[in-house]
Chains A and B, each alone.
Chain A
Amino acid sequence: MNFSELFKQTNQLCRLSPDGKYLVRGSSGSLLITVPPVLVPQVWSLEQPDWHCKIDEGSIGLVSSRWSPDGRHVLNTTEFHLRVTVWSLCNKSVSYIKYPKACQKGMDFSADGRYMALAERRECKDYISVFVCDDWHLLRHFETETQDLAGVEWSPNGCVLAVWDTCLEYKVLLYSLDGRLLSTYSAYEWSLGIKTIAWSPSSQFLAISSYDEKVRILNHITWKKIAEFEHPANISSTKAVVYREVEKCPVVVSEDLSSSQITVSSSLFNTQSKYEICQLPVQVAVLKPDPDRANPKVGVSLLAFSANSRYLATKNGEDNMPNNVWVWDMQKGGLQAVLEQTGPVRCFAWDPRRPRLALCTGNTKLYLWSPAGCVSVKVPVEGCFQVLSLLWHCSGDSLILLGKEQLCLCYMETEEQK
């Protein structure tokens, strides 16, 4: 693993270009889209440095601005979600979309970038509009059977649109690309419902995480629940491996770090903490957050499938089990591993190619899990660099670690480099 030097960035704004060629950093002087709330987004070109574009929305401000998948349009969402303006950078045309919905995830592009689903709300009813991204032609517009639509998400194969309702009502609706309702799923009533959903990359599974600290998996053939994953405080009767991060005294390493070519599976690196495997039964540290507050910080908050759809990583609660990451095996239908960190887990992400999970807890270390084992790596930079979030490069060979004001690149060892 090689680490680069630190680069400046601001506000954790860091995105990879879709083809993985360019990394956009939020910092003055580089390709920047917007930092809300800015009135005038500006666009620069990397290949044609003379090209410059300025979009003026008038007196109204913008809440967000984003690229379309083909990179030729810019979508601006105005303040108060009054409308979405689609600016074409090629032919300077403008399209307006009225009544977009302000919700958790009101807009989603399909994986191939051909279609866009947008949630709208008119006269106290929810609608979904499906646009063709080529020319922003409205393909379908249909009403949804939700009380208060919270989010939309395309399946990776682009044929099914999952729509979920507000947390006051547990409901997931599945619509086909042409707007037909395929199925509805509701696990229970009255208690707080869905927090978020995630599709498996093969589109076979839909994982729904909820406030009752469970994740339910639906299958794509019958849209019925095939598995329910619990996050109990007392892990006893599973074949899972529980890794606990244990801080140990610093080890003096005499090797030259920059020249060391170390694979991910070995842990010869200068680690100041290591994982030890705990024997079951294991007690998970649970904090009881205030349940009377709105949007309580309980329930499974983070959810991600691995690239081969085999593993699902979950984090139960911002507050109730903050230090744990649970890894589930979809093939076996059970818990594969539990990682217990010394601090609250801030972010985790799967390698786009391999079943490898990278996570960070806001300290100076990077943690990696794979079915072979767990490793904790200290980021070897001077000063205090706290890893607050991370991104994988689409090739799976490198990681971008984001700190408060800096970022660091981590290069993984690949087979060719050895």
Chain B
Amino acid sequence: MGDQCGMTMTEHTLDAKEISSISGITMSPSRQYGQTTLHSSLSLHKSYSGFSPFCSEHSVTQCISYINQEACSLGLGTVCIDLCLGGEGLKAVPVLNLLYELLQINRRHQKAAEELETQQMKNSSDMEHLQHSHSRLKDQLEHTRRENSGLHEGERQLQLKIKTLQRCLKSEKEEVQKLQSIISSRASQYNHDAKRKERECAKLKERLNQLLVEKRDKKLAIEVSNPVGRSDGKRGLWKTGKMEARHEGEMYKALLNDYEARQRALMVENTELKKVLQQMKRDMVSILSPKKPQARGEASDDSLEQVCSDGEEEMCEASRECVEQSCEQAREKLTNSIRQQWRRLKCHMERLDSQASLVSAPDREGEGEELISRQVHEEEVLRMRLELQQCRDFIQTQQQLWQQLSSPCDDETAALLSGCYTLEEKERLKEEWRLFQEQKRNFEKERKSFTEAAIRLGHEKKAFEDDRATWLKNQFLTMTPFVDRKRPATLESHSTASSGAEAKMISTPVPPAKSVSYSAFTTPKTGSACVPSTVDLYRTLRLIPESSLRSQGRRGSRQDFSSLSRDLTKPRLHNGTADCSLLSLLKDVESPT
């Protein structure tokens, strides 16, 4: 059967839409079932009659397959309708079975629906019931809560009461204790006094007994030995009524004096206080009166004016009264007027305070008084703001100026300061610089002179070399066998001649230096073989200090120098130490310059 169904299904798999298009019935069989209950068959019938039929002659197989499909889906797969043999109508048995099954299903579903309905009704009623109970319980809860808070409140108050009662109890106890202590101290005092009195009584009794026993009474007497009379000889007076009256009089006089003194002091105090009060009143009047010109038609101002006028009137009155002696009424008037003034002042101050508070709350639309006062207030505020701004600007300009002054000032001052501090050093440096420059100049000069001298020396050296060369040449050329004994003398003369101005050494007449040197040169040519003595050499070399050397002038020294250089070359021929000595001599020559 299933295969059949399956086969039919596969063969005729109808789409729901196709079915619905065929039959015009929507594809929700379950809903259909739900909606149509007992009248389902009827309605089907009706619908069948009303709507386009599900099955027509042509679509039988399709319908059959479809119905089989549906049956399968419903779980009635065992029943399958089939066409009769011959294809003309359906097999009645499966159809009927199917119908029957469907009816069963329908009935079951209906039952279930009924059950569900009843269940739902039950549930809804339960729900209602629960809601009701819930709300009831809520109310109950609220109620109990309120009760609880009320009870708490009551408890708290009771606790407070307890505390106060405890405090009262404590204070009462303390008082009781105090009273007890007082009682005890009083009791002890009474006892003490009673005992004392008893003791005294006992003593009295004893004394009385003693006296009764003694009986003998000594006479009371006063003995005065060597009495001294009064200086003025008068005696004591008897007590008479006049005396008594005098005493009374004296007593009253004393009392009266005391009272008068006291009254005087009080009067003085009184006048002082009155003056103070007057002053106060005057001050109060003056405080209240300046309000007159400022306020305009304010109710309070009227009262103030009244106050001022009253004050002035009263002042005049009071002054008049003052002139007269202080009488009760004047005093009362004064105090009353002062009280009045004070009250008015207080009212005025209160009003001012309230006005100030009102002004500070600007959203209030005040009465005429408020507006007026606010205007005044605002004017004042504007004025003050303007002043404030002016002041601020002023301060700013001042600041700027200050900054201007301070910034360049700083450099200048710094420079100045630094200048001040280094002035001394600068001057010192200048001085030193000057000295330095001078010294430098001097050194330059010296250097110049030295260079000149060196140049000259060079020149002279050169000249000397030339001369030497020529002299050597001459000597060589004039080397003849004629030996001249004049040579040492000539040498000497040469040396002396070369010394020039040396008068001591010169034995022969002194020709001019150059010519002498020439001649001197020439003469030794003849006797060059003769070696001068060491002393002569030294003398020539000026190694032996000769006193006459220094006394010569520069020219002479120069000449000596040149001649010396010439002389010195001679011994050079013989020993090599001449250079050093020449140098040392040069130094010596240089130094005195």
Q: Are B203 and A80 in contact (CB under 8 A)?
A: yes
**With A139-B248, A192-B182 given, can you name 10 additional A-B contacts, CB distance below 8 Å?**
A53-B223, A56-B223, A58-B220, A137-B239, A139-B247, A159-B255, A159-B258, A168-B189, A291-B181, A293-B188
Q: Are A176 and B236 in contact (CB under 8 A)?
A: no
Q: Please, which residues of chain B bring their CB within 8 A of the CB of A167?
A: 189
Chain B nearest CB, measured from A162 CB (Å) = 15
Closest to A57 in B: B220
Chain A nearest CB, measured from B219 CB (Å) = 7
Contacts A159-B254, A190-B182; A59 near B230 (Cβ below 8 A): no
6 contacts between A and B (CB under 8 A): A55-B223, A87-B222, A93-B236, A132-B251, A159-B254, A291-B185
Chain A nearest CB, measured from B214 CB (Å) = 7
Enumerate A59-106 residues with CB–CB distance to B below 8 Å: 59, 79-80, 87-94
CA distance A382 to B222 in the complex (A): 45
Contacts A292-B185, A292-B188; A177 near B222 (Cβ below 8 A): no
Q: Are A295 and B189 in contact (CB under 8 A)?
A: yes
Q: Is B18 an interface residue (CB 8 A)?
A: no
Question: Which of B186, B214, B222 is close to A94, meaning CB atoms less than 8 Å apart?
Answer: B222
Q: Are B189 and A192 in contact (CB under 8 A)?
A: yes
Q: Which of B181, B191, B200, B227 has the most CB of A within 10 A?
A: B227
Q: Please, which residues of chain A bring their CB within 8 A of the CB of B189?
A: 167-168, 192, 294-295
Chain B nearest CB, measured from A200 CB (Å) = 15
Closest to A54 in B: B223
Q: Are B236 and A91 in contact (CB under 8 A)?
A: yes
Q: Please, which residues of chain B bring their CB within 8 A of the CB of A234?
A: none
Q: Are B243 and A135 in contact (CB under 8 A)?
A: yes
Q: Are B204 and A80 in contact (CB under 8 A)?
A: yes
Q: Please, which residues of chain A bring their CB within 8 A of the CB of B51?
A: none
CA distance A51 to B251 in the complex (A): 35
Instruction: Spell out A's residues near B (CB within 8 Å).
Output: 45, 48, 50-59, 79-80, 87-94, 114-115, 132, 134-135, 137, 139, 157-159, 167-168, 176-178, 190-192, 220-221, 291-296
Q: Are A56 and B221 in contact (CB under 8 A)?
A: yes
Q: Please, which residues of chain A bring their CB within 8 A of the CB of B235?
A: 91
Chain B nearest CB, measured from A175 CB (Å) = 12
Q: Are A55 and B188 in contact (CB under 8 A)?
A: no
CA distance A105 to B560 in the complex (A): 146
Contacts A51-B228, A53-B225, A221-B262; A59 near B188 (Cβ below 8 A): no
Q: Are B188 and A80 in contact (CB under 8 A)?
A: no
Closest to A158 in B: B254
Q: Are A294 and B191 in contact (CB under 8 A)?
A: yes
Q: Is B435 an interface residue (CB 8 A)?
A: no
Q: Please, which residues of chain B bring their CB within 8 A of the CB of A178?
A: 251-252, 255
Chain B nearest CB, measured from A188 CB (Å) = 10
Closest to B182 in A: A190
Closest to A169 in B: B186
Chain B nearest CB, measured from A103 CB (Å) = 11
CA distance A158 to B221 in the complex (A): 34
Q: Is B96 an interface residue (CB 8 A)?
A: no
Q: Is the interface of A mostly helix, strand, loop or mixed?
A: loop
Enumerate B163-183 residues with CB–CB distance to A below 8 Å: 179, 181-182
CA distance A134 to B248 in the complex (A): 13
Q: Please, which residues of chain B bring their CB within 8 A of the CB of A293?
A: 188
Enumerate B203-227 residues with CB–CB distance to A below 8 Å: 203-204, 207, 211, 214, 217-227
Q: Is B266 an interface residue (CB 8 A)?
A: yes
Q: Are B186 and A135 in contact (CB under 8 A)?
A: no
Q: Is B244 an interface residue (CB 8 A)?
A: yes
Q: Are A59 and B218 in contact (CB under 8 A)?
A: yes
Q: Is B192 an interface residue (CB 8 A)?
A: yes
Closest to B255 in A: A177
Enumerate B233-261 residues with CB–CB distance to A below 8 Å: 235-237, 239, 243-244, 247-248, 250-252, 254-255, 258
Q: Are B203 and A48 in contact (CB under 8 A)?
A: no
Number of residues on chain B facing chain A (CB within 8 A) = 47
Q: Is B124 an interface residue (CB 8 A)?
A: no
Q: Which of B181, B220, B235 has the most CB of A within 10 A?
A: B220
Closest to B265 in A: A221
Chain B nearest CB, measured from A169 CB (Å) = 10
Q: Please, which residues of chain B bring their CB within 8 A of the CB of A191?
A: 182, 185
Chain A nearest CB, measured from B266 CB (Å) = 7
Chain A nearest CB, measured from B474 CB (Å) = 120
Q: Are A58 and B218 in contact (CB under 8 A)?
A: yes
Q: Are B226 and A48 in contact (CB under 8 A)?
A: yes
Chain A nearest CB, measured from B262 CB (Å) = 7
Chain A nearest CB, measured from B178 CB (Å) = 8
Q: Are A51 and B225 in contact (CB under 8 A)?
A: yes
CA distance A59 to B213 in the complex (A): 12
Closest to A93 in B: B236
Q: Is B184 an interface residue (CB 8 A)?
A: yes
Contacts A137-B244, A293-B188; A157 near B220 (Cβ below 8 A): no
CA distance A294 to B195 in the complex (A): 11
CA distance A158 to B192 in the complex (A): 35
CA distance A87 to B224 in the complex (A): 11
Chain B nearest CB, measured from A181 CB (Å) = 14
Q: Please, which residues of chain B bring their CB within 8 A of the CB of A134?
A: 247
Contacts A51-B228, A80-B200, A177-B254; A58 near B219 (Cβ below 8 A): yes
Contacts A58-B219, A294-B192, A296-B185; A53 near B224 (Cβ below 8 A): yes
Chain B nearest CB, measured from A23 CB (Å) = 23
Going nearest first, the 5 A-B pairs with the smallest beta carbon separation are A294-B192, A91-B236, A159-B258, A50-B226, A58-B218
CA distance A168 to B192 in the complex (A): 12
CA distance A176 to B204 in the complex (A): 36
Q: Are A94 and B220 in contact (CB under 8 A)?
A: yes
Closest to A80 in B: B204
Q: Please, which residues of chain B bring their CB within 8 A of the CB of A192?
A: 182, 185-186, 189
Q: Are B203 and A56 in contact (CB under 8 A)?
A: no
CA distance A176 to B219 in the complex (A): 40
Q: Please, which residues of chain A bring their CB within 8 A of the CB of B225?
A: 50-53
Chain B nearest CB, measured from A57 CB (Å) = 6
Chain B nearest CB, measured from A101 CB (Å) = 13
CA distance A87 to B192 in the complex (A): 35
Contacts A87-B222, A176-B255, A177-B255; A137 near B243 (Cβ below 8 A): yes
CA distance A168 to B190 in the complex (A): 9
Q: Please, which residues of chain B bring their CB within 8 A of the CB of A56?
A: 218, 220-223
Chain A nearest CB, measured from B273 CB (Å) = 14
CA distance A87 to B186 in the complex (A): 40
Chain B nearest CB, measured from A37 CB (Å) = 12
Q: Please, which residues of chain A bring their CB within 8 A of the CB of B228?
A: 45, 48, 51
Q: Mark B91-116, 1 if CB is under 8 A from A, else 0.
A: 00000000000000000000000000
Chain B nearest CB, measured from A237 CB (Å) = 25
CA distance A185 to B97 in the complex (A): 133
Q: Are B224 and A92 in contact (CB under 8 A)?
A: yes
Q: Please, which residues of chain A bring their CB within 8 A of the CB of B224?
A: 51, 53, 89, 92
Q: Please, which residues of chain A bring their CB within 8 A of the CB of B193?
A: 294
Q: Mark B387-417, 1 if CB is under 8 A from A, else 0.
A: 0000000000000000000000000000000
Q: Please, which residues of chain A bring their CB within 8 A of the CB of B254?
A: 114, 158-159, 177
Chain A nearest CB, measured from B376 CB (Å) = 47
Question: Which of A51, A79, A137, A291 is close to B227, meaning CB atoms less than 8 Å apart?
Answer: A51
Chain B nearest CB, measured from A32 CB (Å) = 17
CA distance A132 to B237 in the complex (A): 14
Closest to A148 in B: B193
Q: Which of A48, A51, A221, A294 has the most CB of B within 10 A?
A: A294
CA distance A115 to B253 in the complex (A): 14
Chain A nearest CB, measured from B342 CB (Å) = 25
CA distance A80 to B251 in the complex (A): 32
CA distance A87 to B226 in the complex (A): 17
Q: Please, which residues of chain B bring their CB within 8 A of the CB of A52?
A: 225-226
Chain B nearest CB, measured from A114 CB (Å) = 8
Question: Which of B186, B214, B226, B244 is close to A51, meaning CB atoms less than 8 Å apart?
Answer: B226
